[in-house]
Amino acid sequence: MKQMNLNYKLFFKYILFHTNQVFLKYLYRSDKNTNIYITENNFYYLTLHIKLSSLFYSTQLTEIFSYEIPFNKNINKNDQNISLINNSILVYNFHSILFQQRFFLFVISNTKQNIKKNNINWNSLNSITELFLNANWLEREVSELHGIFFSNKKDLRNLMLTYGDTSAPMRKSFPSIGIKEVFYDSTTDLLIQNPVSIQF
């Protein structure tokens, strides 16, 4: 087991040695978890290595999630280890079943492509559905809830939101005031509109 952990470290260092622009930062947290920070330009290249390399045999994609970092003007640029131009980070969770080890790819999107959907600029990232089949559902979920567009993706169906709705409910910029709840009251036979309230 220790030898496999060393091989993981050597593999990532091998990629870093041959292409030094792949990683922004590499953190080896423990025997079971590894964190890798990469840019969106090198994401597909590294994922292809994970899929095709014999070292990553029986590696599965288990989770894709995105989170937003609130922009704080009081933080000095010298205090941050990684300069974040965009405030959303996409995390891919891979798990090696054979060796019981997880590693996380933190994809930091530092460029915005001008993909406009109803005059809204969306972040773009290459889809990995051809490499991992379960990425189809996970990418649809992240795309719908967090507003991240995946290029070269064939399945663009919505999971929960109505078609034509370009809002991203999990983003902090999503409006929570001014939205009205519309429902049908069977006792009065009317459509009723009430403002949405968080209180119970």
Using CA atoms, how far apart are residues 82 and 108, in angstroms rounded to an integer? 9
β-bridge mates for residue 184, sequence order: 191
User: In this model, does residue 117 exceed pLDDT 60?
Assistant: no
Is the model more confident about 150 or about 4? 150
Using CA atoms, how far apart are residues 84 and 69, in angstroms rounded to an integer? 9
Q: What is the pTM of this model?
A: 0.66
Using CA atoms, how far apart are residues 32 and 43, in angstroms rounded to an integer? 22
CA 192 from chain centre, in angstroms, equals 38
Judge whether 77 and 83 are in contact, CB under 8 Å: yes
Q: Both tokens of residue 7?
A: 């091989």
Q: What is the pLDDT of residues 17-76, one digit of tens each?
A: 555 445 555 555 566 778 888 877 778 888 888 888 777 778 899 999 888 776 555 554
Q: What is the pLDDT of residues 157-195, one digit of tens each?
A: 888 776 766 677 666 666 666 667 778 888 998 888 887
Alpha helices of the chain — where are they, by DSSP H? 2-18, 43-52, 135-146
Task: Please state the φ and ψ torsions of residue 28, each to the nearest 5 degrees.
Answer: -105, 100
Q: What is the pLDDT of residues 189-198, one digit of tens each?
A: 888 888 776 6
Q: How confident is the model at residue 77 (pLDDT cuts 50, 70, 90)?
A: low
Domain ranges of the chain: 2-175
| CATH tag for 2-175 (out of 1.10.760.10, 3.30.460.80, 3.30.70.890, 2.40.50.140) | 3.30.460.80
Residue 141 parent element (H or E): helix 135-146
Angle, alpha carbons 12-17-23 (nearest 5°): 55
**Closest C-alpha to 92, from 48, 139, 54:** 139
